[in-house]
Structure 1
Amino acid sequence: MSKNNIFKSMAFAALFVGGVAMQTACTAGFEEENRPGQKISQEELDRDNYATSSFLTQLVNEAFPEQENTYQMTEDLIGNYLGRFMTYANNGFSDKNFARFNAPNGWVSWPFNNSLPKATSAFNSIVEKTNRKGVFYAQALVLRAQVYQRYVDMYGALPVGLEADAAAYSSQENVYKLLIANLDTAATLLKPNLETTLNEEFDKVYAGQLGKWYKLANSLKLRLAIRMRYADPAAAKKAGEEAVAAGVITSNEDNCAVTYVPNGQYKTSVEWGDSRACADLECFLTGYSDPRLSAYFKPAKQFTTRTIIGCLAGAKIENKTIADKLYSEAKVDKNTRGVWLTAAEIAFCRAEGALAGWSGMGGTVEDLYNRAISLSFEQWGLGSASSYLSNNTNTQANYTDADGGYGQNVAAVSSITIKWDDTATDEKKLERLITQKWIALFPDGQEAWSEIRRTGYPKVFPVAQSTSGYNLDVPNRIPFANDELTKNPVNYRKAVQLIGGTDDYATKMWWQKK
């Protein structure tokens, strides 16, 4: 895909206020936490069924962005590149991009000005149709939690309807509190209907199985709890223990995966050739002799030293045609389901909860760590992980660039091994756990980026080119939409105060307190 294939539409819906599609009806508020659930009735099944389902489909498309333009602008260019799963092979991206801390304004603003308003509009329509009642509303709350977490974890503050002024931003801390309360509401509404199948033909995630939506709600709550573990330990512990007790995803058959044809990563990596494997992930997988390497990536079209070759983040790509041949594309087909939350990720969350001293995680740290890796192997059809789990010698490989490549050779930056060591320090335990969690998160680069920021693990290679004066390997955030300063100036300035720093790539997330 050439540079001018980047999706350019910045159209604004009529309901925008101050540049953001927010209304006071947009958020349920914290008071919903204890809303009673009830068994779904035939009347509810019939009421505005088709219309509500269409809005849910729209919300799914933004929560799990597989549509090619949305995927590239919100997941590939940001999460995948900063999470060090993929990097660009398009020379049109080489001078200005997120990895180099100097992305074009259109890239920076796109999630806020395009995807977020669409999600908000769909959610508002569901609120109107359901009057904040029933399982359709519960599903909408789950999906909106997924959307808002993604975007508040990009920008650091977000307008979510908590303030009297609908265009005013809320702090990341308050957004997290809101989402946990909303997920509790969703779980309460879903719980009486765990055996119900609803709207199978419209549900691209779970084919209408409400019991799986219930587990997803609890699993997203656990993800939030782990993310804020260092920022608010008491609230994180409470939320995490509640989520596991209520019932989270424990089996790959309950993974959150979305049917969207063509798959987003297929378009960006295979069809367009804009993205290739990142050196960081390739070198961990190569060094570990990890069979997931050949499950994640295809052999490079032109290779000498090894078949699967990653490219350094921020490399100076000068010719896309050559880069596409030298580096490995994602191993994904047009019909591959997009994966957004897995049993492996949740087992790693429970392992970290156990490491933090949380109760009821369902096993020791070692048990849950081993289970998480085994679940990841199973997810990718790789059989037993027993020999992998017993390996206490392999470490990350040194990076050797492709012959004629656009980076340079780099020595390994990590010495962490695979086998669990219960005698290690808590910091080494965390590094081992998060390194493996990061590997298993593929292809969800947004979560990979968040884990790098939250914990400092895995250790990553320096950026191949300059980082615009920043002394960081990975940005802590992306700047707010550039037109907010002119369209929403008062709230923009308050938002900058909320993030506690400057509107740049260096200011940390609220949860970066480790």
Structure 2
Amino acid sequence: MKSIYNSILYILCAQFVLLSCTDDFSEINTDPKNSTVDGIDDGLIPLVAKKSFYGAVYMGQNANGPFQLGHSLFSDVYANYFATTAAGFDSDQFILVDRWLNGAYAEQYGNVAPELKFALDYTAERDYFSTENAMMKVWKVFFFHRLTDYWGPIPYSNFGEVESGPVMYDSQKDIYADFFNLLDEAVATFDTQTGQSVFFGNTANDIIYNGSVDNWKALANSLRLRLALRIKYVDGALAKSEAEKAVASGVIMNNSQNAYVNSDNGNFRNNYTTITQWGEFRMSADMESVLKGYKDPRVANYFAPADSVDTLDDPVGLTFDYEGMRNGQTANTKTATPFNTIASDMAGEYTVDGSVGPPYPILRAAEAYFLRAEGALEGWAMNGTAKDLYEQGIQMSHAEYEYDGTNLSGEDYISSTNVPAGFDSTTPPASTAPIAYDEAADKERQLEQIITQKWIALFPDSEEAYAERRRTGYPTLYDRLNSLIPSQIPVDEIPRRMPYVSDEYNNNREAIDDAVNNPEKLDGPDDGTTKLWWDKKN
């Protein structure tokens, strides 16, 4: 994989991927061995940036496959949003299948990272693109934080800079330090452009914010807040400082500032609309338990009624036709049980083959409020109390889907003492966390409430939900029914990281050996049991 990191190839990759996707650009007559940033026309850069936006959220640009391989088969089932129904899909029983992870990793480092670096370098060399460069710095933080939170130490500071030889891995501690520096630089630039709209000459080129500098600044600060809370258990002082800086500078405050990669009829479609056609996953028992017990109206936006429903476990006075299935089903059970019929698929807008589908979330107001609620729980300056911010987080999530704050029975949602329900008529719920904020409870119970509501609101952003499960231990969810590697990862645990992939062992061996054998980088074996740098609580 060394060639992926070559500083010439990342430019060529950006050019040729662009030219293969559209007929709208002029032919580039340059010597491929001497291509440079200076040889590229400004008109090419918007699509490079857009493709990096799209590729980052969908784990690649040949995106149906990588999205399934890296997202649906791992974070979707480790966040317990879904369970797999396909008999041969063993990741739900903790087998970290290399060929799947390898496909996702290669796509991200082979396509997305080169185009992101190209856009960063191109804008850095042109003063008139200084604001766009700040936007791409924010996007670099978003893209790489998802990678490092999957794998831990990764190629980062040397990516695209090494002409030959190994591309060394950075420690996660150092990567996070650079994230905060990049966000500092980006926000400083945005502060000089308050109220402006700019993105490579046409704000329509920005498929996230239509060029709004103020919204990009809010996203940058909200990302800082997310990453600050991520390191709370490993460096509390830095977490507090960065979180308070984010809030003071201005985070996402309302749904009009929500960050999504917007779908369109061209190259940017929501890939759930494709992979749902394959019939390989369904709603988890945990989602049924929590949403049913809370009588949560958002269930209709997340899932479709099951084809065959179980009325025996419906709440009193309520018809609830959404059905889940336990994670960790054996291959034999999947073969023998019609889970695709008795458990719920995703909601309709995710399942229309060939449609553009809904926009994919990056970071939304509800999450920003829940992050602030957790910070307030620690006594940090978050401009509000933990209770008030928690309740505003719920309100923002409900308003995002145009609900008025009542539950499925017409009662006030936020003040409800409802708790999760058993997902069937015989199995008790895994959690007893109520909705109404329990001011008399200890801090840990209040944290469980905050993260449980955050878990609901994050859907379908399972990368973030999976990271938060590892970081906090919440929400409290059902154990797996089975683990195929119980001596390593028992049913009451989840993988703490993804192991490095075969391509790296074959093509970047010196660097990966350094990472694996250096406790300052990876502090444990290269498998799913080793915790990341920030994973210190449980």
Distance 1:219 1:136, change over 3 A: same
Moved more, 315-324 or 215-224: 315-324
Distance 1:320 1:510, change over 3 A: farther
State the AA in 2 paired with 1:511: W
* Contact 2:54 2:261 survives alignment (8 Å): no
* Contact 1:52 1:136 survives alignment (8 Å): no
Q: Once the 2 structures are TM-superposed, how far is the Cα of residue 13 of structure 1 from its aligned partner? A: 8.8
Aligned to 1:136: 132
Aligned to 2:34: none
Distance 1:122 1:90, change over 3 A: same
TM-score for the superposition, normalised by structure 1? 0.85
Distance 1:235 1:290, change over 3 A: same
**In structure 1, what is the Cα distance between the partners aligned to 2:512 and 2:155?**
10
State the AA in 2 paired with 1:478: M
Distance 1:180 1:111, change over 3 A: farther
**In structure 2, what is the Cα distance between the partners aligned to 1:500 and 1:482?**
20
* Contact 1:116 1:147 survives alignment (8 Å): no
Q: Once the 2 structures are TM-superposed, how far is the Cα of residue 48 of structure 1 from its aligned partner? A: 4.7
* Contact 1:477 1:504 survives alignment (8 Å): yes
* Contact 1:101 1:467 survives alignment (8 Å): yes
* Pairing 1:330–2:346 present: yes
**In structure 2, what is the Cα distance between the partners aligned to 1:109 and 1:453?**
22
Aligned to 2:480: 463
Distance 1:78 1:60, change over 3 A: same
CA RMSD of aligned residues (A): 2.5
Distance 1:511 1:320, change over 3 A: farther
* Pairing 1:301–2:326 present: no
Residue in structure 2 matching 1:370, options 386, 391, 396: 391
Distance 1:250 1:503, change over 3 A: same
State the AA in 1 paired with 2:169: Y
Aligned to 1:73: 69
Matches within 5 A, 1:128-277: 128-131=121-124, 134-161=130-157, 167-198=167-198, 199-261=202-264, 262-269=269-276, 271-277=277-283
* Pairing 1:289–2:295 present: yes
* Contact 2:81 2:462 survives alignment (8 Å): yes
State the AA in 1 paired with 2:469: I
**In structure 2, what is the Cα distance between the partners aligned to 1:492 and 1:304?**
50
Q: Once the 2 structures are TM-superposed, how far is the Cα of residue 158 of structure 1 from its aligned partner? A: 0.8
Moved more, 149-158 or 310-319: 310-319
Q: Deviations over 1:205-237 (max 9, x none)?
A: 112222211111111111000111111111111
Q: Which runs of 5+ in 1 are unaligned?
A: 1-11, 23-46, 402-408
Moved more, 186-195 or 156-165: 156-165
**In structure 2, what is the Cα distance between the partners aligned to 1:111 and 1:468?**
23
Q: Once the 2 structures are TM-superposed, how far is the Cα of residue 350 of structure 1 from its aligned partner? A: 0.5
Residue in structure 2 matching 1:280, options 279, 286, 298: 286
After TM superposition, which residue ranges in structure 1, 4 or more long, deviate above 6 angstroms?
Answer: 163-166
* Contact 2:187 2:220 survives alignment (8 Å): yes
Matches within 5 A, 1:305-324: 305=311, 306-316=320-330, 318-319=334-335, 322-324=338-340
Aligned to 1:387: 412
* Contact 1:138 1:187 survives alignment (8 Å): yes
Q: Secondary structure at the match of 1:353?
A: helix
Distance 1:187 1:70, change over 3 A: farther
* Pairing 1:504–2:511 present: no
* Contact 1:410 1:461 survives alignment (8 Å): no
Q: Once the 2 structures are TM-superposed, how far is the Cα of residue 329 of structure 1 from its aligned partner? A: 1.0
Distance 1:332 1:195, change over 3 A: farther
Distance 1:332 1:238, change over 3 A: farther
**In structure 2, what is the Cα distance between the partners aligned to 1:139 and 1:115?**
19
Matches within 5 A, 1:110-125: 110-125=103-118
Q: Deviations over 1:323-363 (max 9, x none)?
A: 2212111114233111221100000000111111111x121
Q: Deviations over 1:102-136 (max 9, x none)?
A: 13211122332111332221122123322355012
* Contact 1:266 1:330 survives alignment (8 Å): no
**In structure 2, what is the Cα distance between the partners aligned to 1:478 and 1:304?**
36
Q: Once the 2 structures are TM-superposed, how far is the Cα of residue 319 of structure 1 from its aligned partner? A: 4.0
* Contact 2:2 2:508 survives alignment (8 Å): no
Q: Secondary structure at the match of 2:238?
A: helix
State the AA in 2 paired with 1:464: L
Q: Secondary structure at the match of 1:92?
A: coil
**In structure 1, what is the Cα distance between the partners aligned to 2:428 and 2:482?**
16
Q: Once the 2 structures are TM-superposed, how far is the Cα of residue 462 of structure 1 from its aligned partner? A: 1.2
Distance 1:483 1:162, change over 3 A: closer
Give the aligned length.
Answer: 466
Q: Secondary structure at the match of 1:282?
A: helix
Aligned to 2:27: none
Q: Once the 2 structures are TM-superposed, how far is the Cα of residue 383 of structure 1 from its aligned partner? A: 1.1
**In structure 2, what is the Cα distance between the partners aligned to 1:137 and 1:247?**
20
* Contact 1:205 1:258 survives alignment (8 Å): yes
Q: Once the 2 structures are TM-superposed, how far is the Cα of residue 17 of structure 1 from its aligned partner? A: 5.7
TM-score for the superposition, normalised by structure 2? 0.82
Aligned to 1:482: 502
**In structure 1, what is the Cα distance between the partners aligned to 2:82 and 2:482?**
16
State the AA in 1 paired with 2:329: A
Matches within 5 A, 1:387-406: 387-392=412-417, 394-400=418-424
* Contact 1:277 1:297 survives alignment (8 Å): yes
Distance 1:213 1:320, change over 3 A: farther
* Contact 1:150 1:446 survives alignment (8 Å): yes
State the AA in 2 paired with 1:513: K
* Contact 1:91 1:320 survives alignment (8 Å): no
**In structure 2, what is the Cα distance between the partners aligned to 1:212 and 1:412?**
40
